[in-house]
Chains A and B, each alone.
Chain A
Amino acid sequence: MPDTSLAPAQRLLTGWGRADATRGLVWTPRRGEEIAELLANLESAAVIPRGLGRSYGDAAQSAGGTIVDTTLLDHVGCVDANGEVEVSAGTSLDTLVRRMLPQGWFLPVTPGTRQVTVGGAIAADVHGKNHHADGSFARHVTAMTVATPTGVHRVAPTRDPDLFWATAGGMGLTGIVTSARLRMLAVSTDRMLVDTDRFADLDAVMTAMEEGDARYRYSVAWVDCSGKAGRTRPGGGLGPGAGRAVLTRGDHASLDDVPAPQLRRAAVAAARVPRPHLRVPRHVPGGLLNRLSIAAFNETWFRRAPTHRTQELQSMWKFFHPLDGVAEWNRLYGPLGFLQYQFAVPPGRGDVVHTAIQTLSSHRIPAFLAVLKRFGPSSPGPLSFPMPGWTLALDVPIGPDGVGRCLDRLDEVVAEAGGRVYLAKDSRLRPDVVPIMYPRLEELRAVRRRVDPRGILRSDLARRLDLC
C-alpha cells in the first residue's frame, strides 16, 4: 500500500500556554489505518496523539518520541435520523458544526473553543456550560475506534467499557482514537435565549447558581479575581471588586422565540459559522497583560454587563465561543507564556472557590476573569475531570514571582477538599498529589497493561506526573 502520509518532521511543540517546548518527530497520517500500522511497528520509545494543540500544558507532546498529528483525519459521515454521526478523530468541532448546523444538529457538548478535535475532546473528556444538565463529551459518544499497540478496538459503553471509559479522559494514554460516533443535539435556530445577572460578590452568585441552574441547559459565571486595580483589603478578605460576577444562563432558541423579521437569518438552514476576524501578531512583547491592564479589562467587562436582563436573543458564537473571534490569542501573554489553573471540588466545598480567588487576589497575581460553573454527575472515566460540585478556571501569566508556589498551596487545598486539577490544562502539578486527586489512576494503568504492554503511549504530561 502506498505511503500517503506527510513526511515526518522534527518539530518543537508546546501546549496552548506556550511554555516548556520539547522536540519530537511529528507524523501526519492521511488515513486512520496507518496509525494502527505505526503503533504495531514503532521503533521510538514513546508516541502520543496531537490534535489542534489546545491543551494548555504538555499533554500532546512527547520529547524525543513520535507525535501523531491527527488533523488530516477529518471525514464527517452522514447523520442519521437520531442525530448520530461517525466522525474521524482529527475533525475539529468547528468543521463539525459547519457541516451539521445547516442540517439542524449542534454539538452535544461544546468547550470554550471550537478549535479542538473530536479525538482531543474525547481524550480530555471535555465539558461545556451544560455539564450540570448533559454531562461531559464522552457521554454523547456512542462508539469509537481506538488504535492501540496491540490492535484496533471498536469500543462502546457496553462493548469493552473498560477501554472505552479509560480512553474518555485518558489523555491519549490508552490508544489513539481514529473515529467516533457522536449523538448530536437537535436545534432549529443559531440563536440562544439568555438571562444575564450581575452580582456584587461571590456568595450571591454561588447561591443563585445553586438555586436556579436546574432551570437552564447552559449556565456559567465569570468572576473578577483581580478586583479594582488589584487592591486588597487590609486584614485579609477579598479586595473591593474581587469576587463580583456576571452569570449567564440560557438555552437554544426555538423558531417561536425569534421575532419574524429575524427568522429567515436565524433558522439553521441559513446558519453561518463565523471565522476569526482578528489575529494576534507573531511577536508580542512580554508584560502586555499585567495587573493594571487586566484590572482595567475586568472593570470594563463587568460594567458592560446588565444588572438583570432576561430572554435576550444572542448568537450561539457570542454565547459559546467569544474568544474564537481572535486567532492565536495565546500570543498576547508574551514569550514566557501562561497557564490555566482549573480545579473541581465537591458540592459542599464552595469555600475552596473563595480561598482560590482570595489567594490569587492577595498575591496580586494578575488573573483575567475566572470561569465558575457547577458540574453534574461524573462520567465513568477513571481520569475524567468533571465531578459533581464546583469548578473554577483562570488564566495566569507565567513570570510574576511566587505564582508557582501559590498554586502549589492551592493544589493542597483542592486535594484536601476531595477535589482535583484538570490534566488537560495542567503544566505544573506536583506528581505526588495526582493519585490523591485521581484515586482511580490504577484503573487506567490496568487498561494500559492490557492494550499497551510495552508502555509506548507516553506524553510529556504522563512522564512529568508519573501517570504511567
Chain B
Amino acid sequence: MLDAFGQPQSVVVLGGTSDLAGAIVEALVRRRCRTVVLAGRDDQRLGAAATAATATGAQHVSTVRFDALDIAGAVATVDDAFDAAGAADLVLLAVGVLSHERDELDPERTAEVVTATYSWPATALTRAAARLREQGYGRIVVLSSVAAMRVRRQNFVYASAKAGLDAFSIGLSEALRGTGVAVQIVRPGRVPTKMTEGLPSAPMSSTPGAVADAVMAGLESGAPVIWVPPAARWAMGLARLVPQALWRRIPG
C-alpha cells in the first residue's frame, strides 16, 4: 500500500534496466519499497538491476522480459509484471529509445524509435491503468523529457515521441480522476546515462540521483508534473515562445 507520503511498498518498473530507473528504485527501496518487479529487454542487464535492488534491501525482486518493439506483447508483459508483484502500488515507466541526427532519413529507425518511445509505452500504460483501477488505488510515474517540450533537430524523432507520450499521460491522468489512481509525469533535463553516451553535454542537464530525489519529493507532494531541475519548468516555458528561426540557432 501507499503511505501518507505517497511511498510505495511495491513497484513495477517498465524499462527496469535504465540508469534512471535504477536510481529511482534504489531511493524507493531505502524508504518503504519491498517488492520490485523489473521488466526489460536485456537479460544480463535485468540480472544486474535485480542484484542491485536486492543489495539495496528489496525483499522480493523478480524480472520480466519484453521487447518494446513488440506492441502485441505489451498487455501480457504488464500482466506478468503485476502478477509477479501481487499488487502494484507504483508503476514506473522508463521506456524509450533515443534518436540521432544520423537516423533522420531512415524510415525503419523512425518506426523503431516511435514504437519503443510512444506506441509500446502508451499501450502498456493503458493496461497498467486498468489493473490499477481494479485494485482501487495506485500511482503511475511516467518518465517524459524536457526535450518533449520544444523539439530540436538533433533528436526530433525521439522528442516528438516523448511529446506524444507526455500528452497521452496528461490525458490518462484526467481519465483516471476519481478512481484512486494518479498519474505523475517527470520531465528531466538531459541526464548523462547509457542512452546519451557520446553526446555533448547539454544545458538543463541533470543526474540520475537528482531525478530520483525529485521523484521521491514528487511522490510526497503529488505534483502532476515533476521538473528536474525545477528551473527547467521556467526555461522550457520561455523556450516554447522563441521563434523557430531563433530556436534553431541556440546551441545545445
Which residues of A line the B interface, CB within 8 A? Answer: 12, 17, 19-24, 57-58, 63-65, 335-337, 339, 398-399, 401, 403-404, 427-428, 430-431, 460, 463-464
Q: CB distance B4 to A337 under 8 Å?
A: yes
Identify A336's interface contact among B32, B179, B221, CB under 8 A. B221
Any A CB within 8 A of the CB of B174 = no
B159-180 vs A, Cβ < 8 Å mask (1 yes, 0 no): 0000000000000000000111
Q: Residue of A at shortest CB range from B133? A: A23
Any A CB within 8 A of the CB of B5 = yes
Compute how far the CA of A431 lies from the CA of B9 in the bound complex, rounded to whole angstroms.
10
Q: CB distance B4 to A339 under 8 Å?
A: yes
Q: CB distance B4 to A20 under 8 Å?
A: yes
Any A CB within 8 A of the CB of B47 = no
Q: How far is the CB of B83 from chain A (nearest CB, A)?
A: 15
For window 75-113 of B, CB contacts with A under 8 Å fall at: none
Contacts A23-B179, A399-B221, A404-B220 hold; do A428 and B5 have CB atoms under 8 A apart?
yes
Q: CB distance B220 to A23 under 8 Å?
A: no
Q: Which of B60-68, B134-142, B240-248 contacts A (4 or more CB under 8 A)?
A: B134-142
Which residues of B are found within 8 Å of A65, using beta-carbon distances?
136
Any A CB within 8 A of the CB of B229 = no
Q: How far is the CB of B238 from chain A (nearest CB, A)?
A: 26
Q: How far is the CB of A5 from chain B (nearest CB, A)?
A: 21
Identify B1's interface contact among A336, A430, A464, CB under 8 A. A464
Any A CB within 8 A of the CB of B3 = yes
Chief secondary structure at chain A's binding surface: loop
B171-198 vs A, Cβ < 8 Å mask (1 yes, 0 no): 0000000111000000000000000000
Q: How far is the CB of A206 from chain B (nearest CB, A)?
A: 29
B210-250 vs A, Cβ < 8 Å mask (1 yes, 0 no): 00000001001110000000000000000000000000000
Compute how far the CA of A171 lies from the CA of B221 in the bound complex, rounded to whole angstroms.
28
Can you give 22 contacting A-B residue pairs, CB < 8 Å?
A12-B178, A12-B179, A17-B4, A20-B1, A21-B180, A23-B180, A63-B1, A63-B136, A63-B137, A63-B180, A65-B136, A337-B4, A401-B217, A404-B3, A428-B3, A428-B4, A430-B32, A431-B9, A460-B1, A460-B137, A463-B1, A464-B9
Which residues of B are found within 8 Å of A430, using beta-carbon distances?
32
Q: CB distance A64 to B135 under 8 Å?
A: yes
Q: How far is the CB of B57 from chain A (nearest CB, A)?
A: 11
Chain A CB count within 10 A is highest, among B178, B180, B220, for B180
Q: Residue of A at shortest CB range from B34? A: A431
Identify A20's interface contact among B3, B31, B221, CB under 8 A. B3
Which residues of B are found within 8 Å of A63, using beta-carbon distances?
1, 135-137, 180
Q: How far is the CB of A60 from chain B (nearest CB, A)?
A: 14
Which residues of B are found within 8 Å of A23, using beta-carbon distances?
136-137, 179-180
Q: How far is the CB of B206 from chain A (nearest CB, A)?
A: 19
Q: Residue of B at shortest CB range from A62? A: B136
Q: Residue of B at shortest CB range from A65? A: B136
Q: CB distance A57 to B4 under 8 Å?
A: yes
Given contacts A20-B3, A64-B134, A64-B135, 11 further A-B contacts (CB under 8 A): A12-B179, A17-B4, A22-B1, A63-B180, A335-B222, A336-B221, A339-B4, A404-B5, A404-B7, A428-B7, A460-B137
Q: CB distance B137 to A22 under 8 Å?
A: yes
Any A CB within 8 A of the CB of B2 = yes
Q: Residue of B at shortest CB range from A18? A: B4
Chief secondary structure at chain B's binding surface: loop
Which residues of B are found within 8 Å of A427, using beta-carbon distances?
3-4
Which residues of B are found within 8 Å of A17, using beta-carbon distances?
4
Which residues of A are found within 8 Å of B6, using beta-carbon distances?
20
Which residues of B are found within 8 Å of A24, using beta-carbon distances?
136
Q: Residue of B at shortest CB range from A462? A: B1
Q: Residue of A at shortest CB range from B9? A: A464
Chain B CB count within 10 A is highest, among A57, A336, A339, A463, for A336
Q: CB distance A22 to B136 under 8 Å?
A: yes
Compute how far the CA of A399 lies from the CA of B4 in the bound complex, rounded to whole angstroms.
10
Which residues of B are found within 8 Å of A22, using beta-carbon distances?
1, 136-137, 180
Q: CB distance A464 to B3 under 8 Å?
A: yes
Q: CB distance B1 to A12 under 8 Å?
A: no
Q: CB distance B4 to A398 under 8 Å?
A: yes
Compute how far the CA of A57 lies from the CA of B137 in the bound complex, rounded to whole angstroms.
15
Compute how far the CA of A319 lies from the CA of B6 in the bound complex, rounded to whole angstroms.
36
Q: How far is the CB of A338 from chain B (nearest CB, A)?
A: 8
Compute how far the CA of A431 lies from the CA of B135 in the bound complex, rounded to whole angstroms.
21
Q: Residue of A at shortest CB range from B182? A: A21
Compute how far the CA of A129 lies from the CA of B31 in the bound complex, rounded to whole angstroms.
35
Identify B222's interface contact among A336, A431, A463, CB under 8 A. A336
Compute how far the CA of A397 lies from the CA of B54 in the bound complex, rounded to whole angstroms.
33
Compute how far the CA of A60 lies from the CA of B1 in the bound complex, rounded to whole angstroms.
14
Q: Residue of A at shortest CB range from B1? A: A464
Which residues of A are found within 8 Å of B32, using beta-carbon distances?
430
Compute how far the CA of A232 lies from the CA of B90 in the bound complex, rounded to whole angstroms.
38
Chain B CB count within 10 A is highest, among A17, A63, A430, A431, for A63
Q: How far is the CB of B174 from chain A (nearest CB, A)?
A: 16
Compute how far the CA of A24 lies from the CA of B135 in the bound complex, rounded to whole angstroms.
9
In the complex, the 8 A-B pairs of residues with the closest C-beta atoms, listed nearest first:
A63-B136, A427-B4, A23-B180, A64-B136, A464-B1, A22-B137, A23-B136, A19-B4
Which residues of A are found within 8 Å of B179, using beta-carbon distances?
12, 23
Q: CB distance A398 to B1 under 8 Å?
A: no
Compute how far the CA of A231 lies from the CA of B137 in the bound complex, rounded to whole angstroms.
40
Q: How far is the CB of B183 from chain A (nearest CB, A)?
A: 14
Which residues of A are found within 8 Å of B31, using beta-carbon distances?
404
Which residues of B are found within 8 Å of A19, using beta-carbon distances?
4-5
Which residues of A are found within 8 Å of B9, using beta-carbon distances?
431, 464
Which residues of A are found within 8 Å of B221, using beta-carbon distances?
336, 399
Which residues of A are found within 8 Å of B178, using beta-carbon distances?
12
Which residues of B are found within 8 Å of A464, using beta-carbon distances?
1, 3, 9
Compute how far the CA of A427 lies from the CA of B2 in the bound complex, rounded to whole angstroms.
9
Q: Residue of B at shortest CB range from A430? A: B32
Q: How far is the CB of A293 from chain B (nearest CB, A)?
A: 20
Q: Residue of B at shortest CB range from A57? A: B4
Q: CB distance A12 to B180 under 8 Å?
A: yes
